Amino acid sequence: MKKTSGFTLTETLVAMVIGLISIVAAFSAYNYYNKSYASVSQKVTVNKSAREALSLITADLRNTGYYHVDFESANCSKLNNAQIDLIGITHGDIRNQRAGKHKQADALHLYYSISAKDQKRVKYELKKYQDSNDFYLIRDVVINPIGHDPSRGCPQWTRTYNMVADEELLIPYVEDFQVIPKDIEGNVVFPVCTSCSNLENTKGGQSESKKNMKKVHTVEIYLTVRSPKEVYPKARRLVIRNGEIPYGSNITISNPDKYHRETYFVSVHTRNLAIPQVAVASSGQSISVGSGYNK
């Protein structure tokens, strides 16, 4: 009689246990790396969108205040007329529906010319999603926001209002957007706004704001962005400090959650805004190196 060989019951059970352990270990490793990848992916997405947005804001800030030497404003006056808009910053106001989830985000309006007759206005501010309490940062671009009126003695042509970007979504899920203008000494310049409804009790009011536009030497931007999806395994408490009170913001996330938040900062030299201390032409140098340039 031929003898057949095989596994005993004990050997089979041992093999099954070892196989089960291997499967559980592989599944745990896959689950861990899958969650890690999702977490890193969320952070990379936040980082990429925030940096691209800050690059765009930086470029607009560097152009802010530039006007062609022959540019004429809406009332046909030259650039030195106090009525022309250069930069406007609306600091967080609880009455403003676009002050963000925490009611203290800022809005930024920038103005500069793109030709002898055309002006560009760029607006950055928060806007609420329709189906949630979250906000996103929009970029709104208009060419010639204010047209000429030939009947008021202006040249016989009218600038055409042209909406280039109508509140396009720039960054999703923005928690805070702080804009802090400073003079050459590093002091906060306030107020600096194009249409300030909250200046009734401010010394100088709207007139003072117009004068302050040409004092702005640098603009600091604090941008806090939240990940679209939850990242962390446990809920966390978080305090966000952006800028200097009362012109910055302190935000406490009252309800702990699992979202990732990160603040991005940039300080931009507004090279076209400040009033020259002396006439650059007298030095015989270019405006970038002349003694009258706002360095």
Nearest 5°: phi and psi at 229? -120, 165
Domain boundaries, the chain: 35-283
> What confidence tens digit (pLDDT) does each residue in 127-158 have?
999 988 899 999 999 988 865 445 444 554 45
Residues with pLDDT less than 70, the chain? 1-6, 30-38, 72-83, 93-96, 146-160, 195-206, 275-295
The rounded distance, in Å, linking the Cα atoms of 22 and 15 is: 11
Nearest 5°: phi and psi at 184? -65, -20
Going by C-alpha positions, the residue among 259, 241, 286 that lies closest to residue 45 is 259
Supply the pLDDT for residue 293.
Answer: 41
Going by C-alpha positions, the residue among 105, 106, 115 that lies closest to residue 63 is 115
Supply the pLDDT for residue 206.
Answer: 64
Mean pLDDT for all residues in the chain: 78
**Residues ≥6 apart with Cβ < 8 Å to 289:** none
pTM attached to this predicted model: 0.77
Supply the pLDDT for residue 62.
Answer: 95
Supply the pLDDT for residue 287.
Answer: 40
